Structure 1
Amino acid sequence: MTCTDLRWTCTVAGATIGGVIPETMAAVLLTGHGGLERLEYRTDVPTPRPAPGEVLVQVAAAGVNNTDVNTRIGWYSKDGEDADATWSGVPLAFPRIQGADVAGHVVEVGDDVAPGRVGERVIVRTMLLGPTGGRPYACWTLGSECDGGFAQYVAVPASDTVTVENDWSDVELAAIPCAYSTAENMIQRAGLAAERVLVTGASGGVGLAAVQLARRRGASVVAVCSSAKADDVRTQGAEETLDRDADVLAALGPRSVDVVLDLVGGPSTTRLLDVLRPGGRYATSGAIGGPLAEIDLRTLYLNDLSMLGCTYQAASVFTDLVGYVERSEIRPVVSGVYPLAEIGRAQEDFLTKTRTGKLVLVPPGSSS
């Protein structure tokens, strides 16, 4: 049987959808570390087939994230030689199809997967657990360690695809997996309750997700963002905003915050620790302001602070998140939608940081 013999159909919102799985597909290939010239849009990439335990997802939409850019430029490498330029600390295999966010439909299943899964509307866990057996602190990231969502189709572990039942658009669903799971993981690791929390980088995809998810838990949110985006961030649940160039210690005072969710890092880290109350928690999952920070260890140990690096995600993080989505307890902000072929423009716009929320790519043939 060839790929062109494979047909699938399902019913979504009362309408029958379906099609033929082609032998080749449109996809963006990352051909090496570097600039946007390393992204090659092609329409003759072989369509993957699901291995045992996998499903084939027809991608309806895929979000743009910092990790896509960081992986492309080799930012994760500490020695600058690209030998450790992935989440797992091994060289990246080229060509690689990036894309940490996937929303779409299951159109084919591999051996050992129930045929009834065909037609399910799903989002895919960004931090895949299937390839690692769920081993704690092992990282296998969609679009880095394996091919991701910047394509018409992607083969992924069936256990890492989660059915979603709601009336959101595919574009909205594609804004969820990476940003919201990152934010929810930070919140769960920090044990955030109805406390005062400071969120840096609050107008970006992860930051805005953190604002919404913190408010969902009853927290009082202080958000750091540009003044131009302050109104947007307050609309999403922040009670107070600070300009990103402000001195947070002068603005808030020492020992005034229970939890810091830091997505910026860099030189500002020292001041963020100063605003934590004794017993406070600092959680980080990003460093767009720079990977190096100098801290005063006296602040850390004399105040019994906890510092948490947050990458590995327990399985419950994603399933909890899908529950929030289905109960409409959160909703993403999507500020731009682009054809997959215009990924370069999308990433350029992403890097300007002038928009609030998420940018999303749509492959050809998607109804989104």
Structure 2
Amino acid sequence: MALTSAAKAAALEEAGASATLPRDADPAELERRLARTAPEGLDAVADVAGGPWLERLLPALRENGRWVIAGAVAGPVVTFDLRRLYLHNLRLIGSSMHTRAHFAALAGLARTGHVRPRVAESFPLGDIHAAQRAFRAGRHVGKITVIP
């Protein structure tokens, strides 16, 4: 399941998301749709955006669930009720997504073609400002790469 904009929903479903929920929905409506989509709650969340959705959706994390934060483009500062963590034995994990060893292994898999990352757009190094503008526009699905 993925929380995303309506414009990216089809691409995420094509990439394997079992369902998508609209990030721009009214919070109460989003919570209702999440409850219908995952009535037992969520076991784990991989969050690359951060922001206010953590506070709103943390109650959907099941007992002993894990929420991994690997980015903060939706906002670096959040508030939430700490009791949710300890009363439900939840784990909130910060991750830069990999260690050097993991990255080397992943790069090796990518070189052999066993893993094919989704590349939304590539820019030559001289167009790094255009790459940053594309990233900030937030319309991409996948990685934006800069080619030296």
TM-score by length of 2: 0.82
Matches within 5 A, 1:118-267: 222-246=1-25, 247=27, 248-253=30-35, 256-267=41-52
Structure 2: distance between partners of 1:287 and 1:308: 13
CA-CA distance at 1:333 after TM superposition: 2.0
User: Aligned letter for 2:18?
Assistant: E
CA-CA distance at 1:298 after TM superposition: 2.0
Structure 1: distance between partners of 2:74 and 2:109: 30
User: Aligned letter for 2:144?
Assistant: L
> Highest CA radius of gyration, 1 or 2?
1
> How far does the alpha carbon of each residue in 1:125-181 deviate from its partner, in whole angstroms, 9 at most, with x for none?
xxxxxxxxxxxxxxxxxxxxxxxxxxxxxxxxxxxxxxxxxxxxxxxxxxxxxxxxx
Name the SS of the counterpart of 2:135 in structure 1: helix
Name the SS of the counterpart of 2:52 in structure 1: helix
Match of residue 84 from structure 1 = none
Name the SS of the counterpart of 2:46 in structure 1: strand
Matches within 5 A, 1:14-25: none
CA-CA distance at 1:323 after TM superposition: 4.9
Cα distance, 1:265–1:337 mapped onto 2, change above 3 Å = closer
The question of whether the paired residues in 1 share the 8 Å contact of 2:51 and 2:74 is answered with: yes
For 2:75, which of 290, 305, 319 is the aligned residue?
Answer: 290
Aligned-pair identity (%):
38
User: Aligned letter for 2:126?
Assistant: A
Match of residue 310 from structure 1 = 95
Structure 1: distance between partners of 2:97 and 2:127: 31
User: Aligned letter for 1:260?
Assistant: V
Cα distance, 1:319–1:345 mapped onto 2, change above 3 Å = closer
Structure 1: distance between partners of 2:51 and 2:139: 20
Structure 2 residue ranges without an equivalent (≥5): none
Name the SS of the counterpart of 1:272 in structure 2: helix
CA RMSD of aligned residues (A): 2.2
Name the SS of the counterpart of 2:141 in structure 1: coil
Cα distance, 1:347–1:272 mapped onto 2, change above 3 Å = same
CA-CA distance at 1:255 after TM superposition: 5.2
Q: Could you say which structure has the higher helix fraction? A: 2
Match of residue 351 from structure 1 = 136
Counterpart check, 1:275 vs 2:54: no
The question of whether the paired residues in 2 share the 8 Å contact of 1:340 and 1:361 is answered with: yes
CA-CA distance at 1:294 after TM superposition: 1.0
Structure 1: distance between partners of 2:110 and 2:8: 24
Match of residue 122 from structure 2 = 337
Task: Give the count of matched residue pairs.
Answer: 142
CA-CA distance at 1:327 after TM superposition: 5.5
Name the SS of the counterpart of 1:266 in structure 2: coil
The question of whether the paired residues in 2 share the 8 Å contact of 1:270 and 1:294 is answered with: yes
TM-score by length of 1: 0.36
CA-CA distance at 1:329 after TM superposition: 3.8
